[in-house]
Amino acid sequence: MMLLLCCHFCGAGFQPALFFCAAMLYNVPMCTTDKTRGVFAATVLENRPLCDEHYLIRLQTPGFPATEAGQFVQLQCRPNAIPDAIRVVDWTDDAPPKLTGGEIADGEPLLRRPLSLAGRDGDILDIIYRVVGRGTGWLQRAAAGTELTILGPLGAPFPIPDTISQAILVGGGVGIPPMLYLAKALNAAGVQTTAICGARTAGLMPLATDDSGQSVEFSARGAHSILCTDDGTLGRGGLVTEPLAELLAAADDPAAVAVYSCGPEIMMKYVGLATTDAGAQCFLSLERSMACGMGTCQGCIVKIKDDSERGWNYKLCCSDGPVFPAESILWE
Amino acid sequence: MPDLSVNIAGIELANPLMTASGTCGYANEYADFVDLRTLGAFVTKSISVAPREGNPYPRVVETRSGMLNAIGLANVGLERFLDEKIPLLEELNLPVFVNIAGTNIDDYVQVTEALANVDVVKALELNISCPNVKAGGIQFGTDPASATEITRAVKAACGKNKLIVKLSPNVTDITAIAAAAVEGGADALSLINTLTAMVVDVETRKPVLANRTGGLSGPAIKPVAVHMVHRVYTQVAKPAGIPIIGMGGIQTGRDALEFLLAGATGLAIGTALFVDPACIVEIRDTINEYLTRHGCTSINEIIGALE
């Protein structure tokens, strides 16, 4: 019944025409319960570092629609109000207009940032992000209580075929977060799960370890974990594809195994090749730069194999993906 | 409540707001995010005779207060547009303007003729200003004689549909192209398309976009667009009695009001839809509030009212 509570402030549909909505572009709270996707108001509950460059942000997002592992959101990475809102107080009789200067000084990112969900607890969305530029740099400074908007949920989730009894998750760097959400779903589905998580070095592993070297986060989701670092400073030294090959070789029935991966493209390419060679199913979550996330800007193209003469066509990462079967992807 | 309705070349719109071509797909993509009936009209992505797959990746990159795109007129082609997209557009219950692209005059005319008898389509927007394809019409948009020639040829094939000519800002004098389009029979002008631009990756020493250059859009171009709208309004459109659809960086109601005052009758929203499709609601409501506060009964009182 949240619908009745929020609809008067809703950006879409029912709104008295003379009601001047002070909400500018980024803070239009939306109707919630009747929508499967939309723009929603969110409040930062917590925003803390997990390791070098990686942060966990928890967002209270009332009425956010149902989500599944593998889906993503477009998060606003700038202050809520655009400071050039018309206000009567800006224009006085005895002085020139009080210009906010906001438009000229606005150096905050225009576009939202596509970020995968790391988990969800009721209205609370968990996102783990890596600070790589202006948008995530701003996000890192968003204190508890900061109000943002979030657009989503977007994209297709990881499929969980009912034919599988075992899952292997392969996450690289900031590709690990969606694997946490997926581990929870696989646990609920009764699938035995091992997560292989790789980072360049110990300081870039966004996971906590227990005395036995297991990831606390994956253990809490019922999954065994194998941590790897390129330089051997944490867990196994070397690439994630080595333990993957071992697990695939040890599988009694590869057809009942699904491998899920997210991370650097070169890693996913070899994860896909190793998995399909072994006869297991493989689903990869791709990353592309995009403007909208809703299938309109057409910026986030991926070459996907088809039965056309040349053997491939462009699909959109945001709306056809971001999860694709590994064998369907045409690697450059 | 002030009257927001405007008339564009004989087409009555409930309000001046429309989508900017290429930022809104073919009608149904934003259905979950905003009630598109908030708009006065819907402008489709470009349609060409044959399907186009567009440019290689990367196609978009963010800039300060804006973004570059080089999509390359990716579209489903005329046949699929008629079969699959027109029925979706009919459900919108809005006047539909179809943006048309081509590589030569025959292409444009072929699309124009195919749309002449489609009821839901009320106008065509002639794209002679795409900066992102080698032969995508820009050659018609930068030379006055060519602009007149293609406008005249397409206008003759329009049938019941009105013809809007979309102008490129990538010219020395946009009023010369505007005048040429009017001479060719344009019923309305829309401006501005994106500004040709480049972002360089200094480490690789290569442009970020695969197409090397792209079109700059978003709030960064708004002051340029407002100025060009005003120049075209005072020097060409107003004397000829032709309406302008203004666009370029409109993100808020205040942005929209600047364009109206500068002389735009219609307003197209583009890049801002990528951030929040529901921004059109705020824009509409802010225009309403402004008109009320200034004692205006109709939006027409402020169109071109710049002092």
Q: What is the pLDDT of residues B181-200, one digit of tens each?
A: 999 999 999 999 999 999 99
Instruction: Please give the torsion angle defined by the CA atoms of residues B210, B132, A317 and A328, in that order, rounded to the nearest 10 degrees.
Output: -70
DSSP code string of A199-245: ESSGGG--S-B-TTS-BHHHHHTT-EEEEEETTSSSSEES-THHHHH
pLDDT of the residue at A104: 46
Residue B304 has pLDDT above 80, yes or no: yes
Nearest to A116 by CA among A55, A176, A29, A59: A176
Top-confidence residue, A307 or A6: A307
Q: Tell me the average pLDDT across B157-164.
A: 97
Q: Tell me the average pLDDT across B14-38.
A: 90
A294, closest residue in chain B (CA to CA): B29
Q: Tell me the average pLDDT across A16-25.
A: 34
Active site annotation includes B158: no
3-class DSSP assignment, residue A247: helix
Going by pLDDT thresholds of 50, 70 and 90, the confidence category of residue B29 is confident
Q: Token match 């699938």: residue?
A: A191
Hey, which residues 255-314 in chain A have their CB within 8 Å of chain B? 288-292, 294-302, 313-314
Measure the CA angle with vertex B137, ends B136 and B139; round to 5°: 115
Residue A320 has pLDDT above 70, yes or no: yes
Helix axes A265-278, A241-250, angle to 10 degrees: 10
Percent of chain A scored above 90 by pLDDT? 79
Top-confidence residue, A100 or A232: A232
B266-295 pLDDT, tens per residue? 999 999 999 999 999 999 999 999 999 999
Going by pLDDT thresholds of 50, 70 and 90, the confidence category of residue A98 is low
pLDDT of the residue at A36: 87
Q: Domain locations in chain B?
A: 6-55+73-196+216-301
Measure the CA angle with vertex B71, ends B84 and A266; round to 5°: 105
Nearest 5°: phi and psi at B298? -140, 145
pLDDT of the residue at B131: 64
Residue A13 at interface with chain B, using a CB cutoff of 8 Å: yes
A112, closest residue in chain B (CA to CA): B275
Percent of chain B scored above 70 by pLDDT? 97
Nearest to A158 by CA among A328, A268, A321: A321
The answer to whether A136 and A59 are in contact (CB under 8 A) is no
Q: Tell me the average pLDDT across B77-103.
A: 94
Q: Kindly determine whether residue A110 and residue B62, on different chains, have CB atoms separated by under 8 Å.
A: yes
Which of B20-24, B154-158, B174-178 shows the lowest mean pLDDT across its residues?
A: B20-24
Q: To probe the interface with B, which of A286, A289, A297, A318 has the most B CB atoms within 10 Å?
A: A297
pLDDT of the residue at B141: 86
Instruction: From the candidates B24, B130, B158, B279, give the one annotated as an active-site residue.
Output: B130
Q: Tell me the average pLDDT across B128-136.
A: 66
pLDDT of the residue at B138: 75
Going by pLDDT thresholds of 50, 70 and 90, the confidence category of residue B261 is very high
Instruction: Please give the torsion angle defined by the CA atoms of residues A65, A69, A75 and A77, in that order, rounded to the nearest 10 degrees.
Output: 150
pLDDT of the residue at B133: 63
Q: How many CA atoms lie within 13 A of A242 on its CB side?
A: 11
Q: To probe the interface with A, which of B15, B44, B62, B217 has the most A CB atoms within 10 Å?
A: B62
Going by pLDDT thresholds of 50, 70 and 90, the confidence category of residue B26 is confident
Q: Kindly determine whether residue A107 and residue B64, on different chains, have CB atoms separated by under 8 Å.
A: yes
pLDDT of the residue at B31: 85
The answer to whether A17 and A40 are in contact (CB under 8 A) is no
Residue A179 has pLDDT above 90, yes or no: yes
State CA A94 to chain mean position distance: 51
d(CA B171, CA B192): 11
Q: Kindly determine whether residue A289 and residue B60, on different chains, have CB atoms separated by under 8 Å.
A: yes
Residue A120 has pLDDT above 70, yes or no: yes
The answer to whether A189 and A199 are in contact (CB under 8 A) is no
Measure the CA angle with vertex B87, ends B84 and B89; round to 5°: 105
Residue B132 has pLDDT above 70, yes or no: no
Q: Tell me the average pLDDT across A284-308.
A: 95
pLDDT of the residue at A106: 62
**Count of C-beta atoms within a 10 Å radius of residue B84:** 11
Nearest to B137 by CA among B217, B193, B98: B193
pLDDT of the residue at A28: 43
Q: What is the mean pLDDT of chain B?
A: 94
ipTM of the complex: 0.91
Nearest to B34 by CA among B23, B49, B45, B46: B23
Residue B275 at interface with chain A, using a CB cutoff of 8 Å: yes
Widest pairwise Cα distance in chain A = 84
Tokens found for residue B133: 């394809």
Measure the CA angle with vertex B271, ends A26 and A294; round to 5°: 80
Residue A183 has pLDDT above 60, yes or no: yes
Which of A1-15, A73-87, B85-99, B216-230 shows the lowest mean pLDDT across its residues?
A: A1-15
Hey, which residues 49-78 in chain B have their CB within 8 Å of chain A? 53-54, 56-62, 64-67, 69, 71, 74
Q: Which CATH superfamily is domain B6-55+73-196+216-301 in?
A: Aldolase class I (3.20.20.70)
A190-199 pLDDT, tens per residue? 999 999 999 9
DSSP 8-state class, residue B235: I
Pairing of strands B96-100, B121-127: parallel
Going by pLDDT thresholds of 50, 70 and 90, the confidence category of residue A95 is low
Percent of chain A scored above 70 by pLDDT? 82
Domains defined for chain A, CATH in brackets: 2-154 (2.40.30.10), 166-285 (3.40.50.80)
pLDDT of the residue at B28: 77
Tokens found for residue A97: 């207009």
Residues 6+ apart with CB under 8 A from A124: A45, A58, A59, A60, A61
Pairing of strands B121-127, B66-69: unpaired
Nearest 5°: phi and psi at B207? -65, 145
Going by pLDDT thresholds of 50, 70 and 90, the confidence category of residue A108 is confident
The answer to whether B132 and B101 are in contact (CB under 8 A) is no
Hey, which residues 128-187 in chain B have their CB within 8 Å of chain A? none
